Amino acid sequence: MRRFHAPHGVDYSMPTSAVASNTAQTAATARSDDGPPPPAPVFLARGLTKIYRSGDLEVRALRELDMELYAGELLVLLGASGSGKSTLLNILGGLDTATSGTVRFEDHDLTSMNQRELTQYRRDHIGFVFQFYNLIPSLTARENVALVTEIARDPMKPDDALALVGLGDRMDHFPAQLSGGEQQRVAIARAVAKRPDVLLCDEPTGALDVETGRLVLRTIDLVNRELGAATVVITHNVSIAGMADRVVHMTSGRISDSYRNAHRISAEELSW
């Protein structure tokens, strides 16, 4: 059974009607939607547009995109290179800002935050997992996790986070002494040790072989279930979609398809 952790300072006063009306697009394309609607959206994006300008060149990475993410759900974001999925993730993660449109995280308006507030937002609410792990080479596995728990408000013990990802016996190893899969699991432990509200994973298996990738996905699945953090996994690997609560396809900066899986299948059953 999933355990829901009440996110810090969440205000559930958001009008549910707005949620209902805004999920119309999602509902219309849903292939299977047999569960009850999730309690409240963690993210609510409306009319999100991102334009990159470089000289005379203008690239529309996101076009009037609407979406939402619910507490505890695992969402897989699929799309080809350049479809805008990373841009969306970056905006949700507070790394980038939209050109127009709004994004709300719980009761915070991300679009109106300055850099300092975005940093604080990432620190308090978001866990990141990168394609290339991005561990600090000079710190052991335990210290890489401790790095984040030292600045978090209600963290787990680093040892517990590492035990959760199955690395209880590798805690004193430096990144150079760990395999790619192990490094990625340290990165996941680092991301979840602060008990984030949202876990954002950008191509977490992109640099790994099938077997190791599967292990990493199982870990993501596990922490999503154990900790109840809303999780977004970006991938161009369609096979991963099976493990999601909900799957969103992006094409040319828009959501082209979205559906809810009747059953999440376990990472072991995935194949590609």
Partner 1 sequence: MSALTSKLRRDLWRIRAQVFSIAAVMAGGVMTVVALGGTSSSLGSATRDYYISGRFADVFATLTRAPDAVAVRLAAIPGVNSVATRVVKDVRLDVPGLDMPAIGRMVSLPLPGSGGVPLNAVHITSGRTVLPGADKEILVSGRFAEANGLRPGSLLTAIINERYVELRIVGIGAAPDYLYEEPGNAFPSDARGFGILWVPHQLAAAATGMRGAFNDVSIGLAAGAHPSKVIAAVDTLLAPYGGRGAIGRKDQLSDRVVSNELTQMGVMAFAFPAVFVAVAAFLVGSVVSRLIATEREQIAVLKAFGYTSGAVGLHYLAYAAAAAAVGIPLGIGIGVWVGRLYTGIYSDVLRIPGLQFHADWVTIGRAIVVIFLAALSGAISAVRKVAMLPPAEALQPPAPARYRALPFDAIGSRLTLSTPVRMIIRGLERQPRRALLGAMGVAAALAMMAGALSLYDATDNMIGLQFRVGQRQALSVQLVTAVPASTRAVFASLPGVTNVELVRVVPVRLRHMGRSRTVGLTALERDGKMHRLVDVDGQIHAIPPAGIVLSTKVADILAIHTGDTPDMDLLERGTTRRVVVTALLNELMSPNAYMDLTAAGSLMGDGDLINGAYLRLDGPPRPELFEQLRAMPLVGGVTSRTAMVEQFDRMMARSFRISAVVVVIFASIIALGVVYNGARIALSERGRELASLRVLGFTNREVGVMLLGEEAILTIAAIPLGWVLGRAFAAYLTYGFTSENYQVPIVTRAGTYAFATAVVLTASALAGALMYRRSTRLDLVAVLKTRE
Contact residues for partner 1, defined by CB under 8 A: 86, 90, 93, 95-96, 115-116, 119-120, 122-124, 126, 128, 130-132, 134, 136-140, 143, 146-148, 150-151, 172, 174-176, 190, 202, 207
Torsion of Cα atoms, 188 then 189 then 195 then 199, to 10°: 0
Nearer to partner 1, 5 or 173 (CB): 173
Give me the count of residues in the chain: 272
Phi-psi region of 94 (alpha: psi -120 to 50; beta: other; left: phi over 0): left
- Output b/e per residue, 188-207; b: 16+ Cβ within 10 A: bbbbbbbbbbbbbbbbbbeb
The structure tokens 């937002």 sit at: 121
Nearer to partner 1, 24 or 176 (CB): 176
Cβ atoms within 10 Å, residue 258: 21
Nearer to partner 1, 147 or 163 (CB): 147
Question: How far apart are CB 48 and partner 1 at their closest, in Å?
Answer: 16
Nearer to partner 1, 40 or 186 (CB): 186
Question: How far apart are CB 133 and partner 1 at their closest, in Å?
Answer: 9
CA atoms of 145 and 27, how far apart (whole Å): 39
Cβ burial, residue 248 (10 Å; 0-12/13-18/19+) = buried
Nearer to partner 1, 123 or 264 (CB): 123
